[in-house]
Amino acid sequence: MTSFRTDRIGALIQEQIGRLIVEGRIKDPRVDSFLSVTRVEVSRDLAWADVFVSSYKTEEGLAKGVAGLKSAAGFIQSQLARNMRVRVTPHLRFHEDRGIREGFDMVRRLEKLVEDDGGMPFAE
């Protein structure tokens, strides 16, 4: 299977899961709209899809959200099967992605450095 097709299916899965989260169709209370699907990696044979989820909330909130998505994986997979036009719907594996949180922390640190330096973005 070509990389283009798996990438396209990954993007479609990312879009569909994001929509389910934002619309509140996943009824698990641990899953809230602050979760974001950052990327999806689909295996070459379409058997598995690794879904990476991030949030700017606490790491504990992210862990709970991922646990809620793991719990709702069957429902999510059934919704994907209904909306996608593929023979085989990949089994979903959810993983924490701390990228958004780390990005916010980095921006905060940079702002503090600029503030401590007297507001000058670059030293002369």
Q: Each residue of 48-106: pLDDT tens digit?
A: 999 999 987 788 989 999 999 999 999 999 999 999 888 889 999 999 998 777 788 88
Q: Establish if 62 belongs to a structural domain.
A: yes
pLDDT-derived band at 119 (thresholds 50, 70, 90) equals low
Going by C-beta distance under 8 Å and a sequence separation of 6 or more, which residues neighbour residue 97?
Answer: 38, 39, 52, 53, 54
Q: Each residue of 17-49: pLDDT tens digit?
A: 999 999 999 999 999 988 999 999 999 999 999
The torsion of the CA quartet 67, 80, 34, 95, rounded to 10 degrees, works out to 40
Q: Establish if 122 belongs to a structural domain.
A: no
Which is higher by pLDDT, 19 or 2?
A: 19
Domain of 77: which CATH number? 3.30.300.20
pLDDT-derived band at 120 (thresholds 50, 70, 90) equals low
pLDDT value of position 100: 75
| Number of independent structural domains in the chain | 1
The CA distances from residue 108 to 5, 60, 78, in Å, are 38, 20, 40
Cβ–Cβ under 8 Å, residues 22 and 36: no
pLDDT value of position 64: 95
Q: Establish if 52 belongs to a structural domain.
A: yes
Domain that holds residue 13: 3-116
